Structure 1
Amino acid sequence: MQLSIVTTLDYAVRGPVDVLLQIEAAMIPEQRVIQARIDLPLLDHFARVSAQADIGERIWLRTAAPLQVRYEATVSVERMLADVDTLPAMPTYLLPGETVDYLMPSRYCTSDTFHEFVENEFGHLQGGARVAAIRDRIAATLTYEPGSSDAFTTAADTFKSCRGVCRDYAHLMIALVRASAIPARFASVYGLGVEPQDFHAVAEVFLDGAWHIVDATGMSSPDRIAKIGVGRDAADVSFLSSFGDVEMLSQTVEVNELVPA
């Protein structure tokens, strides 16, 4: 499937500011960036740096001009798909070193507080069957409610309130899967079908020796998702981190399917 992506950001800047930007679809084997263009304001500094796990890139910017960004891309999604519920989990002692960080609690994914809950609720299930049951439980018990959470909301907060947006669904999914001794990480993505359209967040789980996308909101699916970057939680994959005084005026995200002629 080919996706057309158009993203615009408009931020007021008060004096020189440093910005770390991560909004471009990653160039990785599971997706092919056919064409891409990013328009930026007048800059004092521009540099590309590797993002976490070498998936995608971040851009360092330094500017005193209004931060107006436009990103356009065409991405072909070519990842291998699998039914998560049929996949086995790897024994923890056989996990590759690069997955170990994603077993541990993190700022928003307090997995160490959920061990008793996952054993009581899902202890009879293993591997992908447990992951699928966690996904279905979250989908059934959470209400998608824009504005119901903020930048400080953790997986534990979402578990108690039973409401949130995509990042909250992803954080809770990740926390419960990690509490089951299965590596899970946060993925910032562009997703076809997301409403309201915006940057989207999903979980990735490590099963059968590979990472697999799980969207607990049910709004998109692995074959309709272009990955931007990954991290332990949302703190690692912010689309914009500012080191200075900026104010968001507007932002838009459009994701559409391109049908080949």
Structure 2
Amino acid sequence: MRLSIDVTLDYNIDDSAEILLQVEAAAMVDQHLEHQDMRVFSADPIRAVPGEDAIGQRTWARGTGHFRVEYNAIVAIDRASIDFAELPATPLWQLPGDAVPYLMPSRYCESDRFEGFVHAEFGDLTGGALAAAIGKWVQGNLTYKSGSSAGETTALRTFADRRGVCRDYAHLVVALARAGGIPARCVAAYAPGVDPPDFHAVAEVWLDGGWHLIDATGMAACGDLARVAVGRDATDIAFMTVFGTAWMNHQKVVVKRLD
């Protein structure tokens, strides 16, 4: 699978602000960057720093007045589809150190509030069987509705409202998985067929020695996703974090299959 990615961010910045960008697809074993180019229209220099867990990179920029970013890439994805429902659970004491933080509650994924529900709803399921059941439950019990949530919406609120957008689906999958003893993280990604076209958010769970993607919205298969960044929740994977005030003029995300 090869994806063509075309992104434009066009904003006005009140006065001046530091901006942290995460829009570049990550170079990883299962996704190869055949081409990429990012242009930040700013009078100030930009600076790249590693992303969370050394996946991808963040770019620091300064915006003053009109601020524009253009990014395009071609990404080749070579990722086998795995039925992770058959994968065993990893005993917690055998988890690698970098997976342990993804067992813990975070700002948008209050996993400690879901432990009773996970036990009651999913019984004795563990490992891949539990992760698959969680993904199926979230897909079957939430309604995708643009504009139904806000920047402060957490997994607990999404659970109560039973609706949301992709980040809300990802937050709820992550919170439920962590409540069931499975390390889980949020992933910012590009995917074709996302409606409306936008940056996409999915979940990733640690099973049997590796990370496995789950898109509970049902809009993308694991082989169609190009990861941008990973993290505890939306705090870590936002495509643009403005330390100040910004107003959107225009934003475009176009992702197409090339073969």
Whether the TM-score (by the shorter chain) exceeds 0.5 is: yes
CA distance in 2, matches of 1:3, 1:191: 8
Match of 2:205 in 1: 205
Q: Render the CA deviation track for 1:106-139: whole Å, top value 9, x for unaligned.
A: 0000000011110111122121111111111111
Match of 1:149 in 2: 149
Structure 1 residue identity aligned to 2:76: S
Structure 1 residue identity aligned to 2:257: E
Q: Aligned pair count?
A: 259
What is the Cα deviation at residue 66 of structure 1? 1.1
Match of 1:18 in 2: 18
CA distance in 2, matches of 1:128, 1:239: 29
CA distance in 2, matches of 1:97, 1:176: 21
Structure 1 residue identity aligned to 2:71: Y
CA distance in 2, matches of 1:182, 1:246: 37
Match of 1:245 in 2: 245
1:75 and 2:47 equivalent?
no
CA distance in 1, matches of 2:42, 2:158: 40
Match of 1:195 in 2: 195
Match of 2:118 in 1: 118
Would the aligned equivalents of 1:115 and 1:179 in 2 still touch at CA under 8 Å?
yes
Match of 2:256 in 1: 256
> The residue matched to 2:121 in structure 1 has which SS?
helix
CA distance in 1, matches of 2:235, 2:138: 22
Match of 2:32 in 1: 32
CA distance in 2, matches of 1:96, 1:136: 27
Q: Render the CA deviation track for 1:66-123: whole Å, top value 9, x for unaligned.
A: 1111100000011233112111110001000100100000000000001111011112
> The residue matched to 1:248 in structure 2 has which SS?
strand
CA distance in 2, matches of 1:117, 1:33: 41
What is the Cα deviation at residue 65 of structure 1? 4.4
Q: Following superposition of structure 1 onto structure 2, how do residues 56-75 of structure 1 map, counting pairs within 5 Å?
A: 56-75=56-75
Moved beyond 3 Å, runs of 4+: none
Q: Which moved more, 1:97-106 or 1:56-65?
A: 56-65
> The residue matched to 1:16 in structure 2 has which SS?
strand
Q: Render the CA deviation track for 1:202-242: whole Å, top value 9, x for unaligned.
A: 00000010000000000001100000000000011110011
What is the Cα deviation at residue 245 of structure 1? 2.4
CA distance in 2, matches of 1:219, 1:246: 30
What is the Cα deviation at residue 243 of structure 1? 1.3
> The residue matched to 1:217 in structure 2 has which SS?
coil
Would the aligned equivalents of 2:42 and 2:62 in 1 still touch at CA under 8 Å?
no
What is the Cα deviation at residue 191 of structure 1? 1.1
What is the Cα deviation at residue 43 of structure 1? 2.7
CA distance in 2, matches of 1:78, 1:18: 36
Match of 1:158 in 2: 158
CA distance in 1, matches of 2:71, 2:247: 19
Instruction: Give the unaligned 5+ runs of structure 1.
Output: none
CA distance in 1, matches of 2:80, 2:105: 29
CA distance in 1, matches of 2:90, 2:99: 11
CA RMSD, Structure 1 to Structure 2 (Å): 0.9
Structure 2 residue identity aligned to 1:135: G
> The residue matched to 2:98 in structure 1 has which SS?
helix
CA distance in 2, matches of 1:123, 1:91: 18
Instruction: Give the unaligned 5+ runs of structure 2.
Output: none
Match of 2:93 in 1: 93
Q: Render the CA deviation track for 1:235-255: whole Å, top value 9, x for unaligned.
A: 111100111222111211000
Percent identity, aligned pairs only, is: 48
